[in-house]
C-alpha cells in the first residue's frame, strides 16, 4: 500500500510537470530524494519514462479531432491537412530519435545527474525570460498548425534534441523556446509540442520496456499502472489549464520558477549529496 501511494505521488508530479515547461526530470529526481520507490534501479529507470505514457494518452483524448487523420463519417477518407501535420511531426522527431537510439545508455550514465539538471533548469529559465521580453509587442509569424512549414518543424526538432541530450532542459520547454524564437505563437507552440510528445514518448517507452523486459512482478505492474493512470488524469487538468493560461499570459513565470528550482536543487545536492 505504501508503494502504491508513492506511485500515485509520482503520477501527480509527472502529470503536472510533463506539460508545463519546468522539467519533469528535475522534479522526479528531487521527489525521489524524499520519497523513494522500493524497486530495483532497472525498474526505476524504466518507470521514469514509461509513466509518461499516461500523460500522452491525455493529449490523444483532448486533441483527438486535431490529430486523428481518418474520417470515419463516410466523407473524405484521409484528412490531408492532419496527415501533413503528422509528417512534419515525424520530421521534427528524427533528430531526437536518432540520438536517443544511438546514445541512450551513454546519456543516462554521464548526464543524468543533479548538476546537469540544475544548470539546464536555470539556463532555459533565463532563455524563457529573455525571449518573452524580446517578443513583447511583436506579432507572431505563425498562428496556426497549418502554417508550420517543413523547415519550421525541423528547427523545432533540433531544439527537442537539446532536451534529449540534457536532462532538466524539459522537452516541452526546449521545443516551446525554439518555436517562440522563430515566430510561432504561444498557443501553436504549445499544441505542436504536445503532438510531438506522442511519437517521442511512445518510442522512448518502447525502448525502455525492451531493455527492461516484460517479466514484471505483480507489485511492479500495480506501481506502473497506478502511476500512469494518475499521470493521465492529472495531465487532462494541466493541459486545459496551460492552454487557457497562455492565451492571456506569457511564459516568464515558468522561467523564474525554473531558475529558483534549479538553484534549490543545486544547493540541496551540493550540501547533502
Per-residue confidence (pLDDT) for residue 123, from 0 to 100:
92
What string of pLDDT tens digits covers the 273 residues of the chain?
A: 788 999 999 999 999 999 999 888 778 877 887 888 888 888 988 898 889 899 999 999 999 999 998 877 766 678 889 999 999 999 999 988 888 778 877 877 778 778 888 899 999 999 999 998 988 888 899 999 999 999 999 999 999 888 878 888 888 888 998 999 999 999 999 999 999 989 988 888 888 888 888 888 889 899 999 999 999 999 999 999 999 998 888 899 999 999 999 998 888 888 876
Residue 244 main-chain phi, psi, to 5 deg: -75, -40
Half-sphere CA count of 140, side-chain side, radius 13 A: 17
Range of the domain at 15: 2-272
As for how many domains the chain has, the answer is 1
C-alpha cell at 160: 527537442
Per-residue confidence (pLDDT) for residue 36, from 0 to 100:
87
Per-residue confidence (pLDDT) for residue 237, from 0 to 100:
97
C-alpha cell at 7: 506511485
DSSP string, 197-241: HHHHHHHHHHHHHHHH-S---HHHHHHHHHHHHHHHHHHHHHHHH
> Can you state the angle between helices 171-181 and 186-212, rounded to 10 degrees?
150
Per-residue confidence (pLDDT) for residue 149, from 0 to 100:
95
Dihedral over alpha carbons 62, 196, 198, 161 (to 10 degrees): -150
- Global pTM value: 0.87
The C-alpha atoms of residue 261 and residue 128 are separated, in whole angstroms, by: 14
The C-alpha atoms of residue 41 and residue 266 are separated, in whole angstroms, by: 23
Per-residue confidence (pLDDT) for residue 74, from 0 to 100:
65
Coil, strand or helix at 70? strand
In 3D, which of 256, 249, 226 has the Cα closest to residue 7? 226
Amino acid at each position: 500500500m505504501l508503494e502504491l501511494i508513492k506511485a500515485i505521488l509520482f503520477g501527480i508530479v509527472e502529470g503536472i510537470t510533463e506539460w508545463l515547461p519546468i522539467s519533469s526530470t528535475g522534479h522526479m529526481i528531487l521527489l525521489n530524494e524524499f520519497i523513494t520507490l522500493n524497486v530495483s534501479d532497472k525498474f526505476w529507470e524504466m518507470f521514469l519514462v514509461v509513466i509518461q505514457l499516461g500523460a500522452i494518452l491525455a493529449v490523444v483524448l483532448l486533441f483527438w479531432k486535431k490529430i486523428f487523420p481518418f474520417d470515419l463519417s463516410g466523407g473524405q477518407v484521409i484528412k490531408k491537412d492532419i496527415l501533413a501535420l503528422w509528417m512534419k511531426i515525424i520530421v521534427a522527431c528524427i533528430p531526437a530519435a536518432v540520438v536517443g537510439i544511438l546514445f541512450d545508455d551513454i546519456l543516462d550514465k554521464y548526464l543524468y545527474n543533479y548538476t546537469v539538471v540544475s544548470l539546464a533548469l536555470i539556463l532555459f529559465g533565463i532563455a524563457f525570460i529573455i525571449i518573452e521580453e524580446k517578443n513583447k509587442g511583436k506579432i507572431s509569424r505563425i498562428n496556426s498548425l497549418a502554417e508550420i512549414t517543413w523547415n519550421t518543424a525541423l528547427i523545432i526538432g533540433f531544439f527537442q534534441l537539446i532536451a534529449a541530450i540534457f536532462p532538466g532542459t524539459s522537452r516541452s520547454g526546449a521545443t516551446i523556446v525554439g518555436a517562440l524564437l522563430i515566430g510561432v505563437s504561444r498557443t501553436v507552440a504549445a499544441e505542436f509540442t504536445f503532438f510531438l510528445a506522442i511519437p517521442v514518448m511512445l518510442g522512448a517507452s518502447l525502448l525502455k520496456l525492451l531493455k527492461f523486459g516484460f517479466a514484471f512482478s505483480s507489485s511492479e505492474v500495480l506501481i506502473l499502472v497506478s502511476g500512469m493512470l494518475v499521470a493521465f488524469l492529472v495531465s487532462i487538468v494541466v493541459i486545459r489549464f496551460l492552454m487557457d493560461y497562455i492565451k492571456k499570459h506569457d511564459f516568464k513565470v515558468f522561467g523564474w520558477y525554473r531558475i529558483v528550482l534549479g538553484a534549490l536543487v543545486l544547493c540541496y545536492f551540493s550540501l547533502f549529496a
